[in-house]
Structure 1
Amino acid sequence: MLFWWGIVLSACVTIIGALPVIWLRHLSHRGKDIVLAFTAGIMVAASTYGLIPAALQLSNLYVLVIGILFGTIVLMILEVIVPHHDLEHTSPPREDVRILLFLVAMSLHNVPEGLSVGMSYASTYQDLGPMVAFAIGLQNIPEGFLVALFLIMQKVSKGTVFFYTAFTAFIELCASMVGVLFGGMISDVVPYGLAFSAGAMLFIVYKELIPESHGDGNERMATFSFIMGFVVMVVLTNLLR
């Protein structure tokens, strides 16, 4: 039963990454644009350098295209059906919609990660489970930081930030358990999940994060921050492989 501890710790370290951010109180508008762009860079790198190659490696181009388009369409539908409180461009930003879409994208991103951890423990290779759990766990620390930072910038209360971050970790934990229990039965679904989460994250970046970070005269700094976020995620992905 020791493998259950590996699964739990791999998912729950997301909360550890969020803790330093929960105490952050004030951030200037310029700082907000920079961090939003940095977040966008991380999400693009996670999609294009991590999720998409993994989906291709496990399946084919046909599966990748279907998964990406399906993820994009689902996020578009969510944006339409979620109640909006700004009917004009002069109204305040749709923070409720942005928060929901971001959380959905990050939660979807955690599903294939959790499945990977669980299926690695269910495989016949004894050393594979701990290795994958350790790598995913290390990656979840900056992801928790990212989720919490985004929510803090949307003026979400600290308690709610902690709850939402823990919820994304819980999604990954549930996916890990599904991976352990059903193993080979769901192996064909994983590539679709990887591509789906990539499409969802790319939708958030282009529809919400980039426009929000480029609307107040901080375009150059935001662009540089986007590239830095991309580079940081690429470096982390290589180091944790």
Structure 2
Amino acid sequence: MNEALLGSVLAAMSTGIGALPILFLRNTLTHRFRDTLLAFTAGIMMAAATMSLIPESLSYGGFIPFGIGILLGVFTLTLLEKSIPHIDLEHNRRGIAFDQKAMLIIAAITLHNIPEGLSVGVSYASDAEETGNLIAFAIGLQNAPEGFLVALFLINQKISRWKAFVVATLTGIVEIPMAMLGFYLTSFISSLVPYGLAFAAGAMLYIIYKELIPESHGDGHETSSTYSFIFGLLFMILLIQIF
């Protein structure tokens, strides 16, 4: 349990770490840098899902629990999208008032962190200890640019740098109780482990394809983003091989 708690805290706090540069930057980063960073994290999450979570789920329960878990993860994220509409942080600046837009962004990011927290907790509940560490690492790397973009959006809306940093950090806190919930559920009901691992994989695949890849291709930097995705994939596979 201690490892799960520590891993969830580190993954959640990565949102604040990602937002930290906002306090010191005087000029905003280029679209190319942001897009390649998002693509790199997409590659990391893709490797974590396909090379760790999916094989683990299949080895624990076979295809049926795996398929059910994948679909549950995808459907959960779909319902969240329907309930809290996704608003592009960088490419859409019109059509919604500031107060409403800011609240929607914060609510959407916070809700999207719920399945990520569950993913970390479930991964630590499996027998393979390194799986939890790898998933917490992957989620943490995904949270960092997310925190940066949320803080950057808030600053662009004339919110002070410190307030933007605090709000961006708080959006990741929800991952800690969700990770503990996922850990305890799958620890006490062992039959849930393959479903939980597949749920985590489905949620991550949805985020990759629906959020990270489209965001990284929004400014005409498709080639550099594609290479960045591949390097992120290779980086995570290397870590999986080492650990």
Task: State the match for 1:49 in structure 2.
Answer: 51
Decide which of 171, 176, 180 is 1:173's aligned counterpart. Answer: 180
Alignment RMSD (CA, Å): 3.1
* Partner of residue 99 from structure 1, selected from 109, 132, 135: 109
Pick the aligned partner of 1:14 from 11, 25, 50.
Answer: 11
Is 1:115 aligned to 2:141, yes or no?
A: no
Counterpart Cα distance in 1 of 2:203 and 2:111? 9
Size of the aligned set, in residue pairs, is 217
Which segments of structure 1 move beyond 6 Å, counting only runs of 4 or more? none
The 5 A counterparts of 1:1-241 are 5-14=2-11, 17-18=14-15, 20-25=17-22, 26-83=28-85, 92=94, 96=105, 99-100=109-110, 102-116=112-126, 132=129, 136-137=132-133, 140-141=136-137, 143-154=139-150, 155=153, 157-178=164-185, 182=188, 186-240=189-243
TM-score (norm 2): 0.75
Q: State whether residues 8 and 117 of structure 2, in contact with CA within 8 Å, keep that contact through their aligned partners in structure 1.
A: no
Judge which range, 99-108 or 209-218, deviates more: 99-108
Q: TM-score, normalising length from structure 1?
A: 0.75
Work out whether residues 17 and 141 of structure 1, in 8 Å CA contact, stay in contact via their aligned partners in 2. Answer: no
Q: Matched residues in 2 for 1:33 and 1:44: separation?
A: 16
Q: Which structure 1 residue ranges, 5 or more long, are not aligned? A: 121-127
Match of 1:124 in 2: none
Deviation of the 1:35 alpha carbon: 1.0
Structure 2: 5+ residue stretches without partners = 23-27, 96-100, 155-163
In structure 2, give the amino acid aligned to 1:233.
M
Contact 2:16 2:147 survives alignment (8 Å): no
Sequence identity percentage: 35
Q: Which amino acid aligns with 2:207?
A: I
Amino acid at match of 1:12: V
Q: Tell me if the contact between 2:47 and 2:237 (Cα under 8 Å) persists in the aligned partners.
A: yes
